[in-house]
Amino acid sequence: MHVDIYRWGQQQQESSQQDLGCGVLALALLPPCCLCAQLLLCETCKTKVYPDNLPTTSVVIVFHNEAWSTLLRTVHSVINRSPRHMIEEIVLVDDASERDFLKRPLESYVKKLKVPVNVIRMEQRSGLIRARLKGAAVSKGQVITFLDAHCECTVGWLEPLLARIKHDRRTVVCPIIDVISDDTFEYMAGSDMTYGGFNWKLNFRWYPVPQREMDRRKGDRTLPVRTPTMAGGLFSIDRDYFQEIGTYDAGMDIWGGENLEISFRIWQCGGTLEIVTCSHVGHVFRKATPYTFPGGTGQIINKNNRRLAEVWMDEFKNFFYIISPGVTKVDYGDISSRLGLRQKLQCKPFSWYLENIYPDSQIPRHYFSLGEIRNVETNQCLDNMARKENEKVGIFNCHGMGGNQVFSYTANKEIRTDDLCLDVSKLNGPVTMLKCHHLKGNQLWEYDPVKLTLQHVNSNQCLDKATEEDSQVPSIRDCNGSRSQQWLLRNVTLPEIF
In the chain, what are the domain boundaries? Answer: 29-284, 297-357, 367-491
Determine the pLDDT at residue 255. Answer: 72
Determine the pLDDT at residue 17. Answer: 33
242: how many CB neighbours lie within 10 A of its CB? 20
Rounded CA gap, 240 and 199, in Å?
A: 31
The two domains 29-284 and 367-491 share their CATH topology (first three levels equal): no
Rounded CA gap, 26 and 350, in Å?
A: 42
Determine the pLDDT at residue 381. Answer: 96
Which CATH fold topology does 367-491 show?
A: Trefoil (Acidic Fibroblast Growth Factor, subunit A) (2.80.10)
Rounded CA gap, 105 and 6, in Å?
A: 13
Determine the pLDDT at residue 226. Answer: 97
What are the two backbone dihedrals, phi and then psi, of residue 464, each rounded to the nearest 5 degrees?
-130, 170
Rounded CA gap, 392 and 275, in Å?
A: 35
Mean pLDDT for each consecutive 10-residue tract of the chain (498 residues)?
32 32 34 49 85 95 94 96 96 95 96 96 91 96 97 95 97 96 87 93 92 92 96 96 95 85 98 97 79 63 92 94 87 94 97 95 90 95 94 94 92 93 93 92 96 96 92 94 94 55
112: how many CB neighbours lie within 10 A of its CB? 7
b/e code 375-399 from CB counts within 10 Å (16+ = b): beebebbbbbbebeeebbbbbbebe
Determine the pLDDT at residue 24. Answer: 35
DSSP letters, 108-170, are: HHHTTSSS-EEEEE-SS--HHHHHHHHHHHH--SSEEEEE-SSEEEPTTSHHHHHHHHHH-TT
CATH number belonging to domain 29-284? 3.90.550.10
Closest CA to 3 of 101, 138, 144, 129: 101
Determine the pLDDT at residue 26. Answer: 36
Determine the pLDDT at residue 28. Answer: 31
Q: Is residue 435 within 8 Å of residue 389, measured between CB atoms?
A: yes
Determine the pLDDT at residue 302. Answer: 86
481: how many CB neighbours lie within 10 A of its CB? 9
pLDDT digits (tens, 9 = 90+) for 10-64: 333 333 233 333 333 333 333 344 444 456 677 888 888 998 899 999 999 999 9
Determine the pLDDT at residue 32. Answer: 44
Would you say the C-alpha torsion 452, 455, 461, 465 has a positive or negative sign?
negative
Would you say the C-alpha torsion 448, 451, 452, 458 has a positive or negative sign?
negative
Three-class secondary structure of residue 457 per DSSP: coil
Q: What class is the 297-357 domain?
A: mainly alpha
Closest CA to 495 of 371, 369, 336, 363: 371
Rounded CA gap, 255 and 251, in Å?
A: 11
Determine the pLDDT at residue 13. Answer: 35
15 contacts: CB under 8 Å, gap ≥ 6: none
What's the whole-model pTM score? 0.86
